[in-house]
Amino acid sequence: DAGVIQSPRHEVTEMGQEVTLRCKPISGHNSLFWYRQTMMRGLELLIYFNNNVPIDDSGMPEDRFSAKMPNASFSTLKIQPSEPRDSAVYFCASRTSSPGQGRYTGELFFGEGSRLTVL
């Protein structure tokens, strides 16, 4: 089964440019999370979607950051304009809210991440 798919895996851009990171959650999952990871701050929760609706965006650092989820199979995280301090690894994770078969774990499934470098 395909896991959470993120693109691009690596992005190098110059300060001031627009950056768009993409995420395809696992089919059937109705919750989606964006995280950012840096050495200084560790893993930070940026935004949480449930059924394509943003529920909590309190972790989004500034207005330069925006996230959308136009349908159940796609989400974007956009930074405009980008700054060097935005350099980080951005992870997308998805989760089902349904117990399904067996014991419900509430497990988050993470993608491989998008490593962003802003020069």
Partner 1 sequence: DAKTTQPPSMDCAEGRAANLPCNHSTISGNEYVYWYRQIHSQGPQYIIHGLKNNETNEMASLIITEDRKSSTLILPHATLRDTAVYYCIVVSGTYKYIFGTGTRLKVLA
Residues 4-63 that bind partner 1 (CB under 8 A): 4, 31, 33, 35, 42-43, 45, 48, 50, 55-56
For 47-110, where are the alpha helices, taking DSSP H only? none
Q: Among residues 79, 113, 116, 118, which is the contact residue for partner 1, using CB under 8 A?
A: 113
* Spatial CA neighbour of 89 closest among 71, 77, 80: 77
User: Least distance (Å) from partner 1 to the CB of residue 16?
Assistant: 27
Region 69-108 residues binding partner 1, contact defined as CB under 8 A: 89, 91, 93, 97, 105-108
Q: How far is the CB of 14 from partner 1 (least distance, A)?
A: 23
Strand-pairing partners, residue 71, are: 74
Q: In terms of CB distance, is 81 or 117 closer to partner 1?
A: 117
Q: How do strand 74-79 and strand 65-71 relate by DSSP bridges?
A: antiparallel
CA-to-CA distance for 107 and 94, rounded, in angstroms? 9
